[in-house]
Structure 1
């Protein structure tokens, strides 16, 4: 759930794609590189990374590390004012039939609205976050459909938890399509 300073009385708001998201993502990644020098990679993920995709105006960035426990990410991000999200779903997630650890950080107070996901390189969820982005970039016809779906869900269920619950089964189906696309594209 959001921290108090992130509360939006209007609930979930999905907006049209903003060209500025790519630049904002690149700028934040530059800041994160300085904060987490032991990371393997930094990626702009989620809907704001996909040209033409409607999204909540919150950038999702991913820091990929060798070992979640040994990484400097938690200490350095916290020192810079990022706040670790405590909810269970922000500390582990399922993929490939198992649970994978992760950390998610909210921005510093008054910082750019973002979620910083820290995931191990070998996690199935790391691969799936990249697959979601790459599949939709490669299939722009699906971008409009997913955008329309998200707008409809936000209008019907502006509560963040409810929005996520409704979107989850459709995301699972979308990812099945993405997995087939990946298998066909890389075979």
Structure 2
């Protein structure tokens, strides 16, 4: 759930903004400086990472780490103003029926809207990268997903309801992504 400074009245899904990659790069550099060698990789994920895809104006970032239990991760991020999201769904994510640990941080108060997902290399982390890479490779799926989100936001402006309705459609999308991954021999971690 959003922190009080992040509350919005309506979900807004915007046409793709070509400045999103540069904004990610700036945030990634800041995170790399904050985390140093704790960050094994920093990746732009989510809808803003896919050229041409409509998205909420919130940059999603995944930071791959050796262990989310490393105390320095939270110490360094909170010292930089990041806020650990407390909800259970922001502490673990499921893939193939197995729960994998993760941490999600909100940006410092007043910062550009973004989320930092801290994950270990796992099937759950793979899913975030697969979403991005599949939609980068398949224009029809990208445009269909973007159009769906835009129509949904117009009909269901409440953020929680929007997410609840989007979730089953995302599952269908990811079924197509898995087929694409098998057909192309795609790998998340090289």
Please say if 1:93 is aligned against 2:93.
yes
Query: Could you say which residue in structure 1 is the equivalent of 2:159?
Result: 160
- The residue matched to 2:86 in structure 1 has which SS? coil
- How many residue pairs get matched? 185
Q: Distance in 2 between matches of 1:101 and 1:79?
A: 22
Query: Could you say which residue in structure 2 is the equivalent of 1:136?
Result: 135
Q: Runs of 4+ in structure 1 displaced over 3 angstroms?
A: none
**What is the Cα-based RMSD across aligned positions, in Å?**
1.1
Query: Could you say which residue in structure 1 is the equivalent of 2:64?
Result: 64
Q: Distance in 2 between matches of 1:139 and 1:71?
A: 39
Q: What is the 5 A alignment of 1:52-131?
A: 52-70=52-70, 72-121=72-121, 123-131=122-130
Q: Distance in 2 between matches of 1:174 and 1:142?
A: 8
Deviations 1:108-142 (A, max 9, x none): 00001000000011x21100000000000011121
Q: Distance in 2 between matches of 1:20 and 1:156?
A: 27
TM-score under structure 2 length normalisation: 0.95
Assess if the C-alpha contact under 8 Å between 1:59 and 1:113 holds in 2: yes
- The residue matched to 1:36 in structure 2 has which SS? helix
Deviations 1:50-107 (A, max 9, x none): 0000000000001000111026321111010010111111111111111111111111
Q: Which runs of 5+ in 1 are unaligned?
A: none
